[in-house]
A and B are shown apart, each in its own frame.
Chain A
Amino acid sequence: MIRFALNKGLAALLMLWIVGTIVFAVLFVVPGDPAELLLTSDGAVASQESVESLRRQMGLDKPLITQYLDFLAGAARFDFGQSLIDHVPVGKTIALRLPRTIELILAGLFLGLITGIPAGTWAGLRPGRSFDRVVSAANAVLISVPGFVTGTLFIYLFAQVLRWLPAGGYVSFASDPLLHLKLLTLPAITVGLHLFSIIFRMTRASVLEMRTHDWVRTAVAKGLRRKLVVRRHVVRNALGPIVTVVGLQMGILLGSTVLIEFIYNWPGLSGYLVTAVQQRDYPSVRAVILVVSALFILINFMVEMLYSVLDPRIRL
Chain B
Amino acid sequence: MPFSRFSFPRRLIVASLLLLLLIGSMFAAPLLTSADPVQIAVSKRLAGPSWAHPFGQDEFGRDRLARVLYGGQVSLTVAFLASFIAMAIGTFIGLMGAYFRGLFEFIAMRVSDVVLFFPPILLALLVVTIFGPGVSTMVAVLALLYFPSFSRIAYSETLRVSALDFVEAARALGTKPRRIVVSTVLPNILGAISVQFSLTAAAAITVESGLSFLGLGVVPPAPSWGQMIRGARGFMEQDPLGIFVPCAALCVTIYAINLFCDRLRDVLDPKGMEDGKDSVSPAGRQTAAPAKLDTDSAAELRGLTLSLNRGKREAPAELVRDITLKLRRNQCTALVGESGSGKSLTSLALMGLLPSSIRPSAGHIAIERKSGAAVDLVSLAAKEAEKVRGDDIAMIFQEPMTSLNPVLRVGVQMVEALQAHRKVTPEEARNRCVAALDRVGIPEAEQRFDSYPHELSGGMRQRVMIAMALLCEPKLLIADEPTTALDVTIQAEIIDLLRDLRANQDSGLSMLFISHNLGIVADIADRVVVMYSGEIVEEGPAGDILSDPHHPYTRALLESMPSLHEEMHSSRGDRLGAIGGTPPLPQARPSGCAFRDRCPDAKDACAATHPGLYPSQDALRAVRCIFAPEASSFLKEACDEPCVA
Contact = CB atoms under 8 A, between A and B. Distances in A.
In the complex, is A directly touching B at CB under 8 Å? yes
Interface of A: 14-15, 18-19, 22, 26, 29-32, 125-127, 137, 140-141, 143-146, 148-149, 152-153, 156, 205, 208-209, 211-226, 228-230, 232-234, 236-237, 240, 251-252, 254-256, 258-259, 270, 273-274, 277, 285, 289, 292-293, 296-297, 310-313
B416 A224 contact: yes
A141 B213 CA distance: 19
Nearest to B351: A221
B389 A220 contact: yes
B637 to A, nearest CB: 45
Contacts of A213: 402
Q: Interface residue tally of chain B, by bracket?
A: 35 or more
B247 A145 contact: yes
Contacts of B633: none
Interface stretch (B268-276, B285-293, B546-554, B614-622): B268-276
Contacts of B353: 217, 220-221
B296 interface: no
Contacts, number: 213
A232 B416 contact: yes
Given A125-B281, A214-B399, A289-B118, A222 B420 contact: yes
A304 to B, nearest CB: 14
B639 interface: no
Interface string B354-386: 000000000000000000000000000010001
B300 interface: no
A218 B404 contact: yes
Contacts of A312: 406-407, 452, 454
Interface string B197-241: 000000000100110010000000000001001000100110000
A88 B551 CA distance: 93
A176 B117 CA distance: 35
Given A152-B233, A277-B122, A313-B454, A146 B210 contact: yes
Given A127-B273, A221-B351, A255-B118, A149 B404 contact: no
Contact of B405 (A146, A156, A219, A274): A219
A215 B402 contact: yes
14 contacts: A32-B129, A126-B281, A140-B255, A140-B259, A141-B251, A143-B258, A144-B250, A211-B279, A212-B274, A215-B404, A222-B389, A222-B390, A255-B122, A312-B454
Nearest to A160: B237
B388 A149 contact: no
Counting chain B CB atoms within 10 Å of each CB, which of A216, A219, A311 scores highest?
A219
Given A255-B118, A292-B117, A221 B416 contact: no
A209 to B, nearest CB: 5
Interface stretch (B23-31, B108-116, B604-612): B108-116
Contacts of B282: 226
B280 A229 contact: yes
A56 to B, nearest CB: 25
B407 A273 contact: no
Interface in B382-437: 382, 386-391, 394-395, 397, 399, 402-408, 413, 416-417, 420-421
Nearest to B452: A312
B408 A149 contact: no
Contacts of B226: 146
A26 B403 contact: no
B351 A224 contact: no
B130 interface: yes
Nearest to B209: A146
